[in-house]
Structure 1
Amino acid sequence: MRIDQLDVVLRARSGWEAVELGTALVRRHARAIWAPILLLGLPVFALVNALAWWADAFGWAWLLMWWLKPVFDRLALYVMSRSIFGEAPGVLQTLRAQRQWGWSGFWGYLGWRRFSPLRALLLPVNLLEGNPPEHRGARRRAIAGGAFGHAVLLAATCMAFELVLVAGCIAAVFLFVPFELLSDSWRAAWAMVRDDTPAWALLGLNLVFWLSATLIGPFYTGAGFGLYLNRRTEMEAWDVEIAFRRLRDRLQQAAPLLVLALVLAWPGTAVHAQSADADAPSLEQLLDDAEAEAETDTRDAERPTATYANDPTNTAAGIFGTDEVDTAGFRQAVQRAYEDPLQSPTRQVSRWERIDHDAAKKEKKKPDPKDADTARKRKGPLLPAQIAEWMLWGLVGILLVILVVTAPRWLRWLRGDGARRRSTVSAVVEDDITVPQEVPPDAAARARALWQQGRPRQALALLYRASVDSMSERAQMALPPGATEAQCLRVSRRMPDAADRSLFARVVRVWQYAAYAGRLPDDDAFESLASTLQQQFRWRG
């Protein structure tokens, strides 16, 4: 592999940094990856679903497309393996290369290795390295040894993303359903799935599964390829090898300059060496000098030792040859010579010694007269501090006395057995709403009577019940027992008169405010509503 031509920076990364490297490669070459996948996937999807429809097994088409995902992973891996060398292949080039590229080590991923969570990590071993079959097992174990956990978590994460995309696409269909029809749409969809799902619904579900796998699959393959590159960098030290290769290239570029410098420096060096050889003594002269020095040392060693103090030649007259010699300057020069640090060098040596702790404690216990004088001088300013301390202690005593005196009051409360005040809960008054099964012909008059008696909810319930009957007659449609307000509103749209539809919606709104929110209309609003209903729906007065 030409690792010196890689277009990515190889270095020792953590597992998740390697995953990010793979996804970055997918984003950089997105068009070159997804274009061949869509061109190959669309015909395969159409063929598989057509065969499933012909065999009356439409629900199994998605399983076959899921099983063929490694075929499409090959396309993404081929593009990335060429793109890292700066040679991104074209769409047609990628599709043509699939006829002969890597099929010998691929069939296992459509068989027993299809359920392996390490597929994205180990697929490059079979397709890119070209190892013989007997060596692939050991190679796969070596690659997976340091990235097993990251590969498993990567597979689980990508599977979760695919499920989220499928659930989101299904839920997006119900976003376009009106809120009033949502419950009915859910029931209809569940009945359709449970009893007999139509072919168009199965085809749409298969399409959603295939699109989600097509969107997430390249990221899964790219992240596994990043883990593969990181493992090879760790095992084979690619980053170190690349650094040495770059160093070699720099040295090769500087080699002509080094050769030129040596050529220029060589003649001067030769001339200098020749002149040095001419001035240097010969070997025979050096041997003669060494023998003469050895004989001199031997004679000095055999000479008897004399005491310089008794030697007459060791005097000033013997040294200088005359009796009248001023030796003061000579003695000063000798004194300065002895005072020279180089003649009598000194050094400072520090060492640690154990201190006797008992002796140190005794020395500390000895009273110092200076400390006594200082204490006597400070005795005056310490008096206010002592007074303040006494006052604080007195305050603490007073607090203790107060606690002891009031103990019967707070001790029971502290223990939890004292009498506690309990707030009286007011009883909830419930107003049962009873609506007659048959609405009286004078519903407005009866509602006014109930309103005057202080039963507003009963009055509004009666108006709502009578309005529902009048609406059902005018819409010419029977309502089921226990129909909700929403169902009544949908039926009211069949009334031909717009004023009737608006009035019925107004009644339903007032009734809902009163029944569910506890917001009752005032007397004028109630009277206006009752009069309008009586006049519009022609109730008897």
Structure 2
Amino acid sequence: MRIDQLNVTLRARSEWEAMELGTALVRRHARAIWLPLVCVSLPLFALVNAAAWWADAFGWAWLLMWWLKPISDRIALYVMSRGVFGEEPRPLQTLRAQRHWGWRGFWGYLGWRRFSPFRSLLLPVNLLEGSDAAQRSVRRRAVLGGTFGHAVLLTSMCMVFELVVVSGCIAAIFLFVPLELLSDSWRAAWEMVRQDMPAWAKLGVNFLFWLAATLIGPFYAGAGFALYLNRRTEMEAWDVEIAFRGLRERLQQAAPLLVLALVLCWPMGALHAQASDEAPSCGTPDGFHEDADADADDEGIPEDVPADDPSNTPAVIFGGTPDTAGFRQAVQRAYEDPLVTPTREVSRWERTQSDAEKEKEKRGKDRNKDANPFAKGPRLPAQIAEWLLWGLVGALVLFLLVTSPWWIRWLRGTGTRRRRTEGAVVEEAVELPEVIPPDPAARARDLWQQGRPRQALALLYRASVESMSERAGVVLPPGATESQCLRASRRMPDEADRTLFARVVRVWQYAAYAGRLPEPDDFENLASTLQSQFRWRA
């Protein structure tokens, strides 16, 4: 399964959250689920009930429709299993896929597993995993291990919902019966059910059961599919795997920058090549020569000191000591002492190189030197990278120093936010005046100047309602709401009056329910407009 392409968030959920996720998936793919579902189940319903009408066996028709409900579940499961990967199939594709998709592991749910209360949870194991019968049995037990209780509750709840839909539809029929005839209608319906229910009534009840199954079935399959996903997330740690895959993608995107930073920051020294000259000896068999290293020459002088070196004389070494035969013998014995000059002879065989091979090796060394600019002298790029890093460190230190007033108190432990001391809430009861003064605009201005703006707006609103009632010729009931007043204001013949009254209602609602008072200039403009248009006394 391509879990990295899932368009749902996989995380550790409870079983109830998983079932809610399943219902959300059904709502997301509602059209792709219900269109093919109705195209399959409606002809099947018509065929089964036509045969039942002919045989007068509507009870068997209901039982057969109930037995074939897993066919509807597989349609919903097919759509959701593709939809979670962002590949919602079209209704025609879903119908075509039902001919060959998943029948090998599905026949059991039309047979001996039809009474299983775990169908919604275990049906994805048979239809989506594609394993053989033996492995399917093991997988069903593993998936069912910690979720069987919720699967049973899901089946029970969906059965209850279907019964509620059927009983609600039957009860809705009696809503159209007049109240005085309701008791007689109930009595007649009960007698019809008890004695001999007509065929059309049985067909109607079967239709209601089909309607309930069509409405609730996809939610049942979707909740079971989400339980299945949640169970596999718990067993196989899909959420952890997705997190690691996301981390790998982010690291792959940042890999060029990391490599560039490593190249710039890593100090690379110059590469020095050392060449040694080897002289092959002649006369050795099969192209090999013998390299014999001796630590002393014929006179007992060490190998690393040339024999013809003028400084290697007793007069120079011992500062003018006479070069006598006895002295030379003493020096010879000193050199031969194994504690002074321990020597050993080592012989090894090396293959000789032809002139062509030597030339080829030399050209390769020259090419490597040309390809590696760091092997030729100064380490300029490394020095530039070092300067850049020191500059970055200096900029970071400067930034920390500049911003220290904002973060230093958090390090000292004094950065906790202090809860603001809220002042006491002063509530003022707003009462609409029962008797409107003859000059409501002037009285409202006085209330506004006294610091009682809500009372001022209430007075303007109450006076506007009274003027609206007079001009519209309506009588409002006591305690009429703003909506009722607005509907009544539509009867005013003048469009300007209707617009002005709607403005007053809006300003009053903002002040009364949202606490948003108008500006003083807006209030003065509103009072002046009301006074002039509704002809209030100044």
TM-score of the superposed pair, with normalisation by structure 2: 0.49
Please tell me whether Structure 1 or Structure 2 has the larger radius of gyration of its CA atoms: 1
Give the structure with the higher percent helix: 1
TM-score of the superposed pair, with normalisation by structure 1: 0.49
